[in-house]
Amino acid sequence: MDVAVIGGSVAGLQAALTLGRARRQVVLFDDGQARNRTASHVHNYLGAVDVAPAELLAIGRRQLATYGVEVRDGRVEEVTPDDDGFVVDGRQVRVVVLATGLWDELPDVPGVADGWGQSVVACPHCHGWEVRDQPLVQLGMRGAPDRSVARALLLSRWSDDVVLCTDGDALSGTHLDRLAAAGVKVRTERVAEVGSGVRLVNGESLAARRVFVVVRQHQQSDLAERLGCQVADGAVVVDEGGRTTVPGVYAVGTTAAPALLAIGAAGHASTAAVAVHGDLLESDLGGGW
Protein backbone atom coordinates (compact mmCIF):
# COMPACT_ATOMS: atom_id res chain seq x y z
CA MET A 1 0.00 0.00 0.00
CA ASP A 2 1.34 3.43 -0.96
CA VAL A 3 -0.45 5.84 1.33
CA ALA A 4 -2.52 5.90 4.50
CA VAL A 5 -4.61 9.04 4.89
CA ILE A 6 -5.68 9.51 8.51
CA GLY A 7 -8.77 11.69 8.73
CA GLY A 8 -11.87 11.69 6.54
CA SER A 9 -13.12 15.27 6.43
CA VAL A 10 -12.63 17.50 3.40
CA ALA A 11 -8.81 17.61 3.57
CA GLY A 12 -8.41 13.87 4.00
CA LEU A 13 -10.95 13.07 1.30
CA GLN A 14 -9.33 15.49 -1.14
CA ALA A 15 -5.85 14.10 -0.49
CA ALA A 16 -7.13 10.56 -1.04
CA LEU A 17 -9.00 11.62 -4.18
CA THR A 18 -5.95 13.28 -5.74
CA LEU A 19 -3.75 10.29 -4.91
CA GLY A 20 -6.35 7.80 -6.11
CA ARG A 21 -6.57 9.61 -9.42
CA ALA A 22 -2.77 9.36 -9.61
CA ARG A 23 -3.22 5.57 -9.46
CA ARG A 24 -1.73 5.25 -6.01
CA GLN A 25 -2.91 2.56 -3.61
CA VAL A 26 -4.60 4.49 -0.81
CA VAL A 27 -6.40 3.60 2.40
CA LEU A 28 -8.29 6.31 4.27
CA PHE A 29 -9.19 6.05 7.95
CA ASP A 30 -12.08 8.09 9.32
CA ASP A 31 -13.32 8.26 12.93
CA GLY A 32 -16.37 10.34 12.01
CA GLN A 33 -15.34 13.32 14.14
CA ALA A 34 -15.26 16.00 11.46
CA ARG A 35 -14.89 19.40 13.07
CA ASN A 36 -17.96 20.86 11.34
CA ARG A 37 -20.23 17.86 11.92
CA THR A 38 -22.65 19.85 14.11
CA ALA A 39 -23.15 22.60 11.51
CA SER A 40 -26.32 22.64 9.47
CA HIS A 41 -24.59 23.63 6.24
CA VAL A 42 -21.19 24.16 4.64
CA HIS A 43 -21.07 27.63 3.10
CA ASN A 44 -18.50 29.43 0.93
CA TYR A 45 -17.52 26.18 -0.81
CA LEU A 46 -17.44 26.55 -4.60
CA GLY A 47 -19.88 24.19 -6.32
CA ALA A 48 -21.62 23.12 -3.09
CA VAL A 49 -24.62 25.30 -2.25
CA ASP A 50 -25.89 24.99 1.33
CA VAL A 51 -24.87 21.35 1.51
CA ALA A 52 -24.91 19.61 4.90
CA PRO A 53 -21.46 18.54 6.12
CA ALA A 54 -22.41 14.86 6.19
CA GLU A 55 -23.75 15.08 2.64
CA LEU A 56 -20.57 16.73 1.35
CA LEU A 57 -18.42 14.02 2.95
CA ALA A 58 -20.70 11.28 1.60
CA ILE A 59 -20.26 12.68 -1.90
CA GLY A 60 -16.50 12.61 -1.37
CA ARG A 61 -16.58 8.99 -0.24
CA ARG A 62 -18.55 8.00 -3.33
CA GLN A 63 -15.96 9.71 -5.50
CA LEU A 64 -13.15 7.77 -3.83
CA ALA A 65 -14.75 4.45 -4.75
CA THR A 66 -14.28 5.25 -8.44
CA TYR A 67 -10.51 5.30 -7.97
CA GLY A 68 -10.17 2.24 -5.76
CA VAL A 69 -9.48 4.09 -2.53
CA GLU A 70 -10.22 1.90 0.48
CA VAL A 71 -12.15 3.61 3.29
CA ARG A 72 -12.03 2.21 6.81
CA ASP A 73 -14.12 3.57 9.68
CA GLY A 74 -12.40 3.94 13.02
CA ARG A 75 -9.84 6.01 14.89
CA VAL A 76 -6.14 5.37 14.35
CA GLU A 77 -4.43 5.29 17.73
CA GLU A 78 -0.93 4.29 16.65
CA VAL A 79 1.37 4.70 13.66
CA THR A 80 4.53 2.63 13.87
CA PRO A 81 7.57 3.46 11.72
CA ASP A 82 9.54 0.53 10.31
CA ASP A 83 12.16 -0.11 7.64
CA ASP A 84 9.54 -0.15 4.85
CA GLY A 85 7.65 2.94 5.93
CA PHE A 86 4.90 2.70 8.52
CA VAL A 87 2.36 0.31 9.94
CA VAL A 88 -1.11 1.79 10.36
CA ASP A 89 -3.83 -0.38 11.89
CA GLY A 90 -1.99 -3.48 10.72
CA ARG A 91 -1.46 -2.14 7.19
CA GLN A 92 2.01 -1.61 5.74
CA VAL A 93 2.22 1.75 3.96
CA ARG A 94 5.01 3.83 2.51
CA VAL A 95 3.62 7.26 3.39
CA VAL A 96 1.28 8.70 6.03
CA VAL A 97 -0.87 11.77 5.40
CA LEU A 98 -2.24 13.32 8.59
CA ALA A 99 -5.60 15.02 8.09
CA THR A 100 -6.73 14.67 11.67
CA GLY A 101 -7.85 18.30 11.99
CA LEU A 102 -8.82 20.37 14.99
CA TRP A 103 -11.31 20.61 17.81
CA ASP A 104 -12.66 23.90 19.09
CA GLU A 105 -12.49 24.96 22.72
CA LEU A 106 -15.63 27.07 23.22
CA PRO A 107 -16.16 29.95 25.63
CA ASP A 108 -17.18 28.65 29.05
CA VAL A 109 -20.67 30.14 28.97
CA PRO A 110 -23.91 28.18 29.51
CA GLY A 111 -25.74 27.48 26.25
CA VAL A 112 -22.77 27.89 23.92
CA ALA A 113 -22.07 24.18 23.56
CA ASP A 114 -25.78 23.39 23.16
CA GLY A 115 -26.13 25.81 20.26
CA TRP A 116 -22.77 25.09 18.64
CA GLY A 117 -23.01 24.79 14.86
CA GLN A 118 -26.58 26.07 14.75
CA SER A 119 -27.40 29.26 16.70
CA VAL A 120 -23.77 29.62 17.80
CA VAL A 121 -21.00 29.74 15.18
CA ALA A 122 -17.45 31.01 14.86
CA CYS A 123 -16.55 32.08 11.33
CA PRO A 124 -18.14 35.13 9.65
CA HIS A 125 -16.74 34.08 6.29
CA CYS A 126 -18.55 30.75 6.66
CA HIS A 127 -21.83 31.98 8.17
CA GLY A 128 -22.01 35.78 7.93
CA TRP A 129 -23.84 36.11 4.62
CA GLU A 130 -26.83 34.13 5.84
CA VAL A 131 -27.44 36.61 8.71
CA ARG A 132 -26.34 39.80 6.99
CA ASP A 133 -27.97 43.06 8.12
CA GLN A 134 -29.46 41.39 11.21
CA PRO A 135 -28.69 41.85 14.94
CA LEU A 136 -25.54 39.88 15.79
CA VAL A 137 -23.57 39.30 18.97
CA GLN A 138 -19.87 38.55 19.03
CA LEU A 139 -19.05 36.71 22.25
CA GLY A 140 -15.42 37.04 23.20
CA MET A 141 -13.16 34.49 24.84
CA ARG A 142 -12.19 35.55 28.36
CA GLY A 143 -8.50 36.35 28.52
CA ALA A 144 -8.20 37.03 24.78
CA PRO A 145 -9.46 40.63 24.30
CA ASP A 146 -7.34 41.29 21.20
CA ARG A 147 -8.89 38.33 19.38
CA SER A 148 -12.37 39.22 20.59
CA VAL A 149 -12.07 42.77 19.27
CA ALA A 150 -10.61 41.60 15.97
CA ARG A 151 -13.54 39.22 15.38
CA ALA A 152 -16.11 41.87 16.26
CA LEU A 153 -14.50 44.29 13.82
CA LEU A 154 -14.57 41.59 11.13
CA LEU A 155 -18.21 40.78 11.85
CA SER A 156 -19.17 44.45 11.46
CA ARG A 157 -18.74 44.10 7.70
CA TRP A 158 -21.83 41.85 7.59
CA SER A 159 -24.11 43.95 9.80
CA ASP A 160 -24.30 47.44 11.27
CA ASP A 161 -25.97 45.98 14.39
CA VAL A 162 -23.14 44.14 16.16
CA VAL A 163 -22.59 43.93 19.91
CA LEU A 164 -19.33 42.65 21.37
CA CYS A 165 -19.83 40.94 24.72
CA THR A 166 -16.44 40.67 26.41
CA ASP A 167 -17.80 38.46 29.24
CA GLY A 168 -15.97 40.46 31.89
CA ASP A 169 -12.80 41.43 30.03
CA ALA A 170 -11.86 45.11 30.11
CA LEU A 171 -10.86 46.76 26.85
CA SER A 172 -8.20 49.36 26.18
CA GLY A 173 -8.91 52.83 24.87
CA THR A 174 -7.51 51.80 21.50
CA HIS A 175 -9.85 48.81 21.40
CA LEU A 176 -12.85 51.00 22.22
CA ASP A 177 -11.91 53.63 19.64
CA ARG A 178 -11.62 51.03 16.87
CA LEU A 179 -14.90 49.39 17.80
CA ALA A 180 -16.65 52.76 17.87
CA ALA A 181 -15.27 53.60 14.45
CA ALA A 182 -16.76 50.35 13.12
CA GLY A 183 -20.10 50.97 14.81
CA VAL A 184 -19.74 48.01 17.19
CA LYS A 185 -21.43 48.38 20.57
CA VAL A 186 -19.67 46.93 23.64
CA ARG A 187 -20.96 45.20 26.76
CA THR A 188 -18.36 44.18 29.33
CA GLU A 189 -20.69 42.47 31.83
CA ARG A 190 -20.35 38.75 32.41
CA VAL A 191 -22.66 36.65 30.25
CA ALA A 192 -25.13 34.45 32.11
CA GLU A 193 -26.44 32.40 29.21
CA VAL A 194 -26.59 32.09 25.45
CA GLY A 195 -29.79 30.89 23.82
CA SER A 196 -31.92 32.56 21.17
CA GLY A 197 -30.01 35.68 22.22
CA VAL A 198 -27.62 36.58 25.02
CA ARG A 199 -28.60 37.13 28.65
CA LEU A 200 -26.24 39.18 30.83
CA VAL A 201 -25.77 38.61 34.55
CA ASN A 202 -27.77 41.75 35.31
CA GLY A 203 -30.80 40.09 33.69
CA GLU A 204 -30.74 42.16 30.51
CA SER A 205 -31.20 40.28 27.24
CA LEU A 206 -29.60 41.13 23.92
CA ALA A 207 -31.31 40.12 20.69
CA ALA A 208 -29.19 38.16 18.25
CA ARG A 209 -30.04 36.41 15.01
CA ARG A 210 -26.79 34.53 15.50
CA VAL A 211 -24.14 34.46 18.20
CA PHE A 212 -20.56 34.35 16.93
CA VAL A 213 -17.87 33.15 19.32
CA VAL A 214 -14.11 33.23 19.61
CA VAL A 215 -12.66 29.74 20.01
CA ARG A 216 -9.30 28.25 20.90
CA GLN A 217 -8.22 25.52 18.50
CA HIS A 218 -6.46 22.28 19.40
CA GLN A 219 -5.19 19.33 17.41
CA GLN A 220 -7.63 16.41 17.49
CA SER A 221 -4.80 13.90 17.52
CA ASP A 222 -1.29 13.71 18.97
CA LEU A 223 -0.08 11.32 16.26
CA ALA A 224 2.16 13.98 14.72
CA GLU A 225 3.95 14.66 17.98
CA ARG A 226 4.33 10.96 18.75
CA LEU A 227 5.86 10.44 15.32
CA GLY A 228 8.37 13.18 16.10
CA CYS A 229 6.96 15.88 13.82
CA GLN A 230 7.61 19.48 14.78
CA VAL A 231 4.51 21.24 16.11
CA ALA A 232 4.41 25.00 16.68
CA ASP A 233 1.55 27.26 17.79
CA GLY A 234 -0.88 24.36 17.67
CA ALA A 235 -0.09 23.40 14.07
CA VAL A 236 2.05 20.68 12.52
CA VAL A 237 4.95 22.38 10.76
CA VAL A 238 5.07 21.62 7.04
CA ASP A 239 6.73 22.94 3.90
CA GLU A 240 4.91 24.07 0.77
CA GLY A 241 4.25 20.44 -0.18
CA GLY A 242 2.79 19.40 3.16
CA ARG A 243 5.97 17.58 4.20
CA THR A 244 6.52 17.47 7.95
CA THR A 245 9.94 17.31 9.58
CA VAL A 246 9.68 13.48 9.54
CA PRO A 247 10.37 11.89 6.13
CA GLY A 248 7.33 10.08 4.77
CA VAL A 249 4.86 11.95 7.00
CA TYR A 250 2.71 14.74 5.55
CA ALA A 251 0.08 16.97 7.16
CA VAL A 252 -2.77 18.66 5.34
CA GLY A 253 -5.65 21.05 5.89
CA THR A 254 -6.20 22.55 9.32
CA THR A 255 -3.81 20.02 10.84
CA ALA A 256 -1.07 22.18 9.34
CA ALA A 257 -2.88 25.49 8.83
CA PRO A 258 -5.62 26.05 11.43
CA ALA A 259 -7.03 29.22 9.84
CA LEU A 260 -8.10 27.51 6.61
CA LEU A 261 -11.76 27.49 5.59
CA ALA A 262 -13.15 24.15 4.39
CA ILE A 263 -12.43 24.82 0.74
CA GLY A 264 -8.93 26.04 1.62
CA ALA A 265 -8.29 22.83 3.56
CA ALA A 266 -9.27 20.83 0.49
CA GLY A 267 -7.00 22.90 -1.72
CA HIS A 268 -4.08 22.54 0.67
CA ALA A 269 -4.61 18.78 0.71
CA SER A 270 -4.69 18.55 -3.06
CA THR A 271 -1.39 20.43 -3.34
CA ALA A 272 0.21 18.19 -0.73
CA ALA A 273 -1.11 15.04 -2.45
CA VAL A 274 0.59 16.12 -5.66
CA ALA A 275 3.84 16.43 -3.67
CA VAL A 276 3.28 12.98 -2.14
CA HIS A 277 2.86 11.44 -5.57
CA GLY A 278 6.00 13.18 -6.85
CA ASP A 279 8.03 12.10 -3.83
CA LEU A 280 6.86 8.50 -4.20
CA LEU A 281 7.78 8.58 -7.86
CA GLU A 282 11.25 9.87 -7.01
CA SER A 283 11.61 7.06 -4.51
CA ASP A 284 10.41 4.53 -7.10
CA LEU A 285 13.20 5.76 -9.38
CA GLY A 286 15.82 5.38 -6.68
CA GLY A 287 16.03 8.96 -5.48
CA GLY A 288 14.91 8.30 -1.92
CA TRP A 289 13.28 10.93 0.27
Domains and CATH numbers, the chain: 3-104+216-284 (3.50.50.60), 107-213 (3.50.50.60)
Whose CA is closest to 240, among 231, 230, 229, 252?
252
pLDDT reading at 57 higher than 90: yes
Average pLDDT over residues 164-170: 97
Q: What angle do CA 266, 223, 219 make, to 5 degrees?
A: 60
Residue 206 backbone dihedrals phi, psi, to 5 degrees: -110, 130
pLDDT reading at 282 higher than 70: yes
pLDDT value of residue 289: 61
* pLDDT tens sequence across 177-193: 999 999 999 999 999 99
pLDDT value of residue 288: 65
pLDDT reading at 228 higher than 90: yes
Local structure of 205: helix, strand or coil: strand
pLDDT reading at 38 higher than 90: no
Task: Return the percentage of the chain with pLDDT > 90, whole number.
Answer: 92
Average pLDDT over residues 61-66: 96
Average pLDDT over residues 215-243: 96
What is the DSSP pairing of strand 249-251 with strand 235-236? Answer: unpaired
Average pLDDT of the chain is: 95
Q: Cα–chain-centroid distance for residue 199?
A: 29
pLDDT band at 147 (very low <50, low <70, confident <90, very high): very high
pLDDT value of residue 83: 92
pLDDT value of residue 286: 85
